Amino acid sequence: LVTPGQVVIAGDGTLYVSASLVDHRNDGLDRLWGRVPTEILLLVSRDGGATFEPRIASDPATGGPNWLPSLERPTGRNRVGTPGLIYTSG
């Protein structure tokens, strides 16, 4: 589990965490940038971070790296219910 990623707390108190999930057994952590396989992990907690529900947000069938996740964040008057998640694929 590596970053870049974000943490967002929605208006209802739900905690969302995005991160990259990398298998580094063969390459080491120093060579993980854009490596295959890299998948996007979304962790969701509705109890203040005591427990998390993990979700693989990217499609492992693409065959390429999925990386640089970004969660939508509230800014100013912009309220966010369930934050949108975008990431780079390929």
- Supply the pLDDT for residue 63: 78
Q: Is the pLDDT of residue 51 over 60?
A: yes
pTM recorded for the entire structure: 0.82
Q: Is the pLDDT of residue 70 over 90?
A: yes
Q: pLDDT averaged over the chain?
A: 84
Higher pLDDT: 51 or 62? It is 51
| Per-state percent for the chain, helix, strand, coil, to nearest 5 | 5, 40, 50
Asked whether the beta carbons of 39 and 69 are under 8 A apart, the reply is no
What is the spatial distance between Cα 64 and Cα 17, in angstroms, rounded to a whole number? 22
Asked whether the beta carbons of 43 and 51 are under 8 A apart, the reply is no
Condensed to tens digits (0 to 9), the pLDDT of residues 9-48 reads 988 899 999 998 887 665 655 555 666 678 899 999 999 9
Exposed, middle or buried, 78 (CB in 10 Å: 0-12/13-18/19+)? exposed
